Amino acid sequence: MNLLYQSTRGGEKDVTASQAILKGLACDGGLFMPTQIPKLDLTMKELAGRSYQETAYEVMKLFLTDFTEEELKRCIACAYDQKFDTQVIAPLVKADGAYYLELFHGSTIAFKDMALSILPHLMTTAARKNHVDQEIVILTATSGDTGKAAMAGFADVPGTRIIVFYPKDGVSRVQELQMVTQKGDNTAVVAIHGNFDDAQTGVKKLFSDKGFGRELADKGFVFSSANSINIGRLIPQVVYYVYAYGQLLNSGEIADGEKIHVTVPTGNFGNILAAYFAKQMGVPIDKLLCASNDNKVLYDFFVTGTYDKKREFLLTISPSMDILISSNLERLIYLSAGCSCEKTAQMMASLAESGAYTISEDMRQQMADFVGGFADQQQDKDSIRRVYEDTGYVMDTHTGVACAVYQNYRAKSGDETKTVIASTASPYKFSRSVMEAIEGGSLPEDEFQVIDQLREISGVEIPRAVEEIRFAPIRHTRTCRIDDMKKTVAEILGL
């Protein structure tokens, strides 16, 4: 079956997977969605003994139907190789009554590696398939992790350039150093004077600027995206939830067909949406616990049915979740509205114009699988410290939010269903906040002294990705105001 894609807002239909990956964002500002979510054609028992790479092929072949078997397997082999520091790619660690799905063993020690290791290979293959001879400009906004992972993936890939915008004071020091030291003649990093939502909105405006698009085309460039608005980012994320269930089944932790819960620290909504896709494909997932930090726009949405971004933007110790416009929620809106492009477009227009929208009761019923929860910064720290003291397991500040939300849900509901918690980043990526949570007191000003202290108490080796930036030279120093993003892109591309 040839699975096609269409925009959530109705402006583009009958788009192939490779075309959707190349475009990133639909011409009407909508997100590409498959015309249906396919079912797995292997049982979970059959998948349980498969490697990560084999599982990836079984999942992705169902979505990327215009890629040949040879093309897709080559992309997978190039992505999930020695750049990961564990052969299983995404190990499950049992601690504190839950199963932590460690998604941070890639080259930039965050879950974005899981998809951004393969996206450049998918995109360059898609370009060849569609006879694209323009230089692909990857334009991306990041709340800290996507930017580095995307640059690591696309650095020096022929026929591509990548420009990353990040909020100047809205990422951890390690996140910033990972970006500004990035090598690659085709990479550019820009710190904006604003927050992540400002960066994301600015990038979307550039995508929808048809005049600028024509100017780019005349100069031999075409925009695409590495954010999770790109379906080529979302589909690879489905894989690790299928794989996690297979691991639990293979190890005897669960019985075949036994339902599990999944808890995901959530900002832009792509990671938990991937778990929802896995459920729709046939993975026995029951509840999806959507864990928010103090910027609890998603928690409020699932409790009230109203999405309202009109609130104070808070900078927290879990900066990758400091988001008020969760772009991937549009895909869930589309699905819960019966795949109505008209309803979806109306709600997105309302969000743009008034800053809010409210879904119908029928749509809320369609989202009954989701449970909203949030943890403030103190609860986050308390969870990190408690789990370390009780088990020796060290988690980062985003996983800490998910842990706190899960434990709170279990205490209130009495629900003892086995639960997978998406562990989205290495604790070394947020070492200062993690050490403050565990040890308290004053810490050295030097970030790498703090990292060394974390190594001493955790017994976990400092990842290569962190050691590499300890003495790496700063290569990117460009900054800009929000309203100068277009001008900055033009300068970088030499327009």
What would the two tokens of residue 217 be?
């085309």
The pLDDT score that the predictor gives to residue 246 is 97
User: How far is Cα 8 from Cα 28, in angstroms, rounded to an integer?
Assistant: 9
The pLDDT score that the predictor gives to residue 270 is 94
Residue ranges of the chain with pLDDT lower than 50? none
User: How far is Cα 305 from Cα 363, in angstroms, rounded to an integer?
Assistant: 9
Number of residues that this document lists for the chain: 495
Q: What is the pTM of this model?
A: 0.92
In the numeric block, the tokens 């297979």 are attached to 246
What would the two tokens of residue 300 be?
């409020």
DSSP 8-state symbol, 473: P
What would the two tokens of residue 355 be?
């800053």
Q: At what angle do helices 69-79 and 52-63 cross, to 10 degrees?
A: 140
Q: Select from 215, 211, 192, 218 the least CA-distant residue to 203.
A: 192
The pLDDT score that the predictor gives to residue 170 is 87
Contact between 447 and 178 (Cβ < 8 Å): no
User: How far is Cα 298 from Cα 283, in angstroms, rounded to an integer?
Assistant: 24
**Region for residue 257 given its phi and psi (left: phi exceeds 0; alpha: psi -120 to 50; beta: otherwise):** left
User: How far is Cα 238 from Cα 384, in angstroms, rounded to an integer?
Assistant: 27
In the numeric block, the tokens 């009554």 are attached to 97
The pLDDT score that the predictor gives to residue 114 is 96
Q: At what angle do helices 329-336 and 270-281 cross, to 10 degrees?
A: 40
What would the two tokens of residue 162 be?
């990548």
β-sheet bridge partners, residue 7: 32
The pLDDT score that the predictor gives to residue 419 is 98
By CB atoms closer than 10 A (0-12, 13-18, 19+), residue 240 is buried
The pLDDT score that the predictor gives to residue 145 is 79
Signed CA dihedral, 247, 250, 254, 259: sign only: positive
The pLDDT score that the predictor gives to residue 16 is 97
Contact between 425 and 111 (Cβ < 8 Å): yes
Q: Name, in order, each residue with C-beta under 8 angstroms of 478's C-beta and a sequence gap of 6 or more.
A: 188, 189, 190, 191, 488, 492
- 120 to 355, 450, 465: CA distances (angstroms): 34, 34, 20
The pLDDT score that the predictor gives to residue 470 is 92
- 2 to 62, 64, 106, 431: CA distances (angstroms): 9, 9, 32, 46
